[in-house]
Chain A
Amino acid sequence: DQQVKQNSPSLSVQEGRISILNCDYTNSMFDYFLWYKKYPAEGPTFLISISSIKDKNEDGRFTVFLNKSAKHLSLHIVPSQPGDSAVYFCAAKKGGKLIFGQGTELSVKP
């Protein structure tokens, strides 16, 4: 069973506009959520996180929103830049482990 789902395999956005990446989860016991960014042939790098007791966390151009009642989180990137083109993974933490979604490939076009 897929406890963390990213239902959009890909997303294409114009440079300067907002990118919104979505993630749904099923387990209400997750206590922390993270977003990772991955370029081809590189390991994932941490982007931003949010505790389950918060509903928003912001870091520069990146904001993560958590809606616990809907078991949904989203990552907003404003403004989007061509260098943001990568695969984005959401991850949910339970105990010592992270459970990852399938990833969404973001393409930001100039």
Chain B
Amino acid sequence: DVKVTQSSRYLVKRTGEKVFLECVQDMDHENMFWYRQDPGLGLRLIYFSYDVKMKEKGDIPEGYSVSREKKERFSLILESASTNQTSMYLCASREVGGHEQFFGPGTRLTVL
């Protein structure tokens, strides 16, 4: 079974803080993705990575950055958290050539 884990289920941060969200997958997948989910907006792609050290902007990258130093780990960084970044953050992975993405349980981030 593919397992995607995220470092925290719930997180509360203050405006202006730097926030790190970690994601680890154990199936040796090359591709990894970060989404945020908001009511009425579905899942929106923030950043993705096709391989180690590689990263591509998704549809809403502003205010975020990512790091992929190892194949199994993909980190999302909020450089200076703002209240409009309060959301559910979802990480996913996929093998090369596959269609299905496997999701982690999500991190519910609240920025006060």
A binds B: yes
CB contacts (< 8 Å) of B99 on chain A: these are: 32, 34, 49, 93
Q: Which of B31, B35, B105 contacts A42 (CB 8 A)?
A: B105
Instruction: Please tell me the number of chain B residues within 8 Å of chain A, measured between CB atoms.
Output: 25
> Closest CB of chain A to B91's CB: distance in Å?
8
Report Cα–Cα, A98/B43, bound state, in Å: 9
**Chain B, interface SS category:** strand
Q: Which A residues from 35 to 63 make CB contacts under 8 A with B? A: 36, 41-46, 49
Instruction: Using CB atoms, name the residue of chain A closest to B44.
Output: A100
State whether A34 and B48 are in contact (beta carbons under 8 Å apart), knowing that A43-B4, A43-B90, A100-B43 are contacts in the complex.
Answer: no
Which residues of A in the span 65-110 have a Cβ within 8 Å of any Cβ on B?
A: 89, 91, 93, 96-103
Determine the distance from Cα of A70 to Cα of B50 in the docked complex, in whole angstroms.
32
Contact of B103 among A6, A32, A45, A101 (CB under 8 A): A45
Binary A-proximity of B76-95 (CB < 8 A = 1, otherwise 0): 00000000000000101010
Interface centre among B31, B94, B100, B103 (most CB of A within 10 A): B100
B9 at interface, CB cutoff 8 A? yes
A9 to B100, CA, bound (A): 24
- Footprint of B on A, CB under 8 Å? 4, 6, 9, 32, 34, 36, 41-46, 49, 89, 91, 93, 96-103
Q: Which residues of B contact A (CB under 8 A)?
A: 4, 9, 31, 35, 40-45, 48, 50, 58, 90, 92, 94, 99-106, 108
8 A-B pairs within 8 Å (CB atoms) are namely A4-B42, A43-B4, A43-B104, A44-B43, A49-B99, A49-B100, A96-B48, A102-B40
